[in-house]
Amino acid sequence: MASVDIVDVRKYFGAHPVIKGVDVQIEDGEFVILVGPSGCGKSTLLRMIAGLEHISGGEIRIGDRVVNDVPPKDRDIAMVFQNYALYPHMTVADNMAFSLKLKGASRSEIEDRVKPAAAILGLSAYLDRFPRQLSGGQRQRVAMGRAIVRDPQVFLFDEPLSNLDAKLRVSMRTEIKSLHQRLTTTTIYVTHDQIEAMTMADKIVVMQDGRIEQIGAPLELYDRPDNLFVAGFIGSPAMNMLHGRVDSADPSRFVTRDGVVLPLGRPRPDLTGRDLVYGMRPEAIQLGGSVSIQVDVIEPTGSESQVIGRLGAAEIACVFRERVSVRPGEMMPVSIDPAATHLFDAADGRRITAA
């Protein structure tokens, strides 16, 4: 096990920069998730840690060792690929034992390592099968088994669940998390799915366009997003965002472009005259109150009710624990918990902290 330090790492494809100076400190034993939309550079960063991509600038350290020029095979890391990359001509057992065989491990040693790993992953019955004869979830487990057998310093996962169906994805999520709790090996995991990031990570690194937008614990990102991008990316349904200004007559009120009046936690006379974005999570909206929403769509999920409606001209989503009995087209009175709202500068998208 080891810590991983990424210091001002850059990557160019030709003259085109894809990673534009990234700093991340990953503690020993931490589960870190790199998350961001397609093309944000998260997979490239992971492949640079693995040694599969050359590092154009900066430094990557695994433990105390700078690995910039260390070939992948000497970095002591294991990686689970999106397409699993199982060797099709080897059985499950041989796939898992491949790295040990290369190291010249004895047959009994290989068995001692492969058997327990297979047992952990529920693969004991499939050791003699070939990858083609397995289901997607089983292949996924073999790929993880191959990594576990290595007992590496760091596990790398490159969107490992994106080829699985929704139900399997949820159960594999739990499995990977409990596996990490059991092995406590430093893990870096790439995904574009913010739910995966929220549910599994100790620390989330949100990336966009080759830069880091924010690093923090899942709930930290959820409760205090640094900017509009993170606010919109983390959370589902996404945060509602309304453009407007602080009311100059009464600085404890926010007035949207459409003239809708919303409460602020406390008066912000310092912000009057600035173009702002008012953010509220769908669950910050409660039933009953002085603000009225015109209901467009109601989506009951059983445990909660999602209501999509309009506040002025802006579309907003609400999530209620209660079951609601409104109908499309009706006006629904709601209130907003001012403590659960966020203010962002409309110009640069940054969070405005309490003055």
Partner 1 sequence: MSVSTASPPAGTKASFFERLSQSRNGLGLLFMLPAALFLLCFLTYPLGLGVWLGFTDTMIGRPGIFIGLENYEYLWHDRVFWMSVFNTVVYTAVASVLKFVLGLWLAIILNEHLPFKTFFRAIILLPWVVPTVLSALAFWWIYDSQFSIISFVLMKAGLISAPINFLGDPTNARLSVIAANVWRGIPFVAISLLAGLQTIPASLHEAAALDGATSWQRFRSITLPLLTPIIAVVMTFSVLFTFTDFQLIYVLTKGGPVNATHLMATLSFQRGIPGGALGEGAAIAVAMVPFLLAAILFSFFGLQRRRWQQGGSD
Please tell me the distance from the alpha carbon of residue 132 to that of residue 139, in angstroms, as a whole number.
9
CB of 178 to partner 1, least distance (A): 24
Nearer CB in complex with partner 1: 78/255: 78
Site string for partner 1, 77-96 (x = CB under 8 A): xxx-x-x-x-xxxx------
CB of 74 to partner 1, least distance (A): 8
Is there binding between residue 103 and partner 1 (CB under 8 A)?
yes
Stretch binding partner 1 (CB under 8 A), from 124-132, 244-252, 270-278, 339-347 = 124-132
Nearer CB in complex with partner 1: 168/352: 168
- Under a CB-based contact definition with an 8 Å cutoff, are residues 120 and 180 in contact? no
* Residue type for position 6: I
* Residue type for position 335: S
CB of 344 to partner 1, least distance (A): 40
Within 194-223, the residues that bind partner 1 by CB under 8 A are none
Site string for partner 1, 243-272 (x = CB under 8 A): ------------------------------
Is there binding between residue 117 and partner 1 (CB under 8 A)?
no
Q: Of 134, 164, 176, 316, which one interacts with partner 1 (CB under 8 A)?
A: 134
Stretch binding partner 1 (CB under 8 A), from 68-76, 238-246, 254-262, 291-299 = 68-76
Is there binding between residue 50 and partner 1 (CB under 8 A)?
yes
Stretch binding partner 1 (CB under 8 A), from 46-54, 105-113, 209-217, 262-270 = 46-54
What backbone phi and psi angles, to 5 degrees, belong to 144?
Answer: -70, -40
Nearer CB in complex with partner 1: 132/167: 132
Is there binding between residue 54 and partner 1 (CB under 8 A)?
no
Please tell me the distance from the alpha carbon of residue 279 to that of residue 290, in angstroms, as a whole number.
18
Please tell me the distance from the alpha carbon of residue 127 to that of residue 87, in angstroms, as a whole number.
14
Stretch binding partner 1 (CB under 8 A), from 30-38, 127-135, 192-200, 236-244 = 127-135
CB of 332 to partner 1, least distance (A): 50
Is there binding between residue 321 and partner 1 (CB under 8 A)?
no
Q: Of 15, 64, 69, 71, which one interacts with partner 1 (CB under 8 A)?
A: 71
Nearer CB in complex with partner 1: 160/235: 160
Q: Of 3, 21, 111, 130, which one interacts with partner 1 (CB under 8 A)?
A: 130
CB contact set of 201 (below 8 Å; sequence gap of 6+): 31, 32, 33, 189, 217, 218
Nearer CB in complex with partner 1: 81/292: 81
Site string for partner 1, 148-167 (x = CB under 8 A): --x-----------------
Nearer CB in complex with partner 1: 52/340: 52
HEC-encoded secondary structure of the chain: CCCEEEEEEEEEECCEEEEEEEEEEECCCCEEEEECCCCCCHHHHHHHHHCCCCCCEEEEEECCEECCCCCHHHCCEEEECCCCCCCCCCCHHHHHHHHHHHCCCCHHHHHHHHHHHHHHCCCHHHCCCCHHHCCHHHHHHHHHHHHHHHCCCEEEEECCCCCCCHHHHHHHHHHHHHHHHHHCCEEEEEECCHHHHHHHCCEEEEEECCEEEEEECHHHHHHCCCEHHHHHHCCCCCCEEEEEEECCCCCCEEEECCCCEEECCCCCHHHCCCCEEEEECHHHEEEEEEEEEEEEEEEECCCCEEEEEEECCEEEEEEECCCCCCCCCCEEEEEECHHHEEEEECCCCEECCCC
- Chain residues that interact with partner 1, rule: CB under 8 A: 50-52, 71-73, 75, 77-79, 81, 83, 85, 87-90, 98-99, 102-103, 130-134, 146, 150
